């Protein structure tokens, strides 16, 4: 498995940061931002290989689930990473093997979050997330 991250063999791995301030209860597929936008255009084809998420405050109830999206559509492929923060985990991550969830050059990738209606605290939780992609080697 260690050679999955050999850039010469499998392509470069990138971590793209996203965030969202003041997450509220009952959000559905709310896009996180990366600088001025919610999406990053991919210069090459490749694979989504993971997502990590962190809430800046401890949740006492409910969950915040992160999901990748491509061209503003949530990625629902079987095994697509969807980590969740909850009262038992302020940080979470999920991975998938390279090649399982692919994208094409020019696709716009991002991360969205969905929250339960029982989220507590609400309007005061900030979320940071990283989208990990592996570009196809040339």
Best CATH choice for the domain 2-135 from the list 3.40.50, 3.30.70, 2.60.120, 2.60.40: 2.60.120
Q: Which residue do the tokens 């997330």 mark? A: 129
Q: Find the Cα–Cα–Cα–Cα dihedral 91, 35, 12, 3, rounded to 10°.
A: 0
**pLDDT of residue 138 exceeding 80:** no
Per-residue b/e over 8-30, b at no fewer than 16 CB within 10 Å?
A: eebbebbebebebeebebebeeb
CA angle 120, 130, 21 (to 5 degrees): 40
At 28, the pLDDT band (50, 70, 90 cuts) reads very high
What average pLDDT is seen over the chain?
Answer: 91
CA distance 119 to 48: 28
Say which residue, 6 or 91, is predicted with more confidence.
91
Q: Is 102 exposed, middle or buried (0-12, 13-18, 19+ CB in 10 A)?
A: middle
Q: What is the pLDDT of residue 6?
A: 66
Residues contacting 114, CB < 8 A, separation 6+: 27, 28, 29, 30, 64, 65, 67
pTM, 2 dp: 0.91
Q: Which of 24, 20, 45 is nearest to 34 (CA)?
A: 20
* Tokens (6 digits) for 37: 């936008």
HSE on the CB side for 27, CA within 13 Å?
Answer: 26
Each residue's pLDDT tens digit, 56-66:
999 999 999 99
- Residue 6 parent element (H or E): none
CA distance 19 to 29: 14
């Amino acid at each position: 498995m260690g050679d999955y991250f050999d850039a010469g063999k499998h392509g470069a791995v990138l971590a793209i940061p996203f965030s969202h301030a003041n997450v509220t209860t009952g959000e559905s597929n709310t896009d996180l931002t990366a600088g001025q936008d919610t999406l990053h255009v991919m210069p090459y084809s490749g694979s989504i290989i993971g997502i990590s998420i962190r809430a800046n405050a401890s949740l006492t109830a409910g969950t915040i689930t992160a999901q990748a999206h491509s061209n503003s559509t949530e990625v629902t492929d079987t095994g697509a990473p969807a980590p969740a923060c909850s009262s038992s985990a302020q940080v979470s991550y999920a991975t998938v093997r390279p090649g399982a969830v692919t994208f094409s050059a020019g696709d716009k990738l991002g991360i969205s979050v969905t929250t339960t209606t029982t989220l507590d605290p609400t309007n005061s939780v900030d979320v940071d997330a990283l989208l990990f992609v592996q570009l196809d080697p040339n």
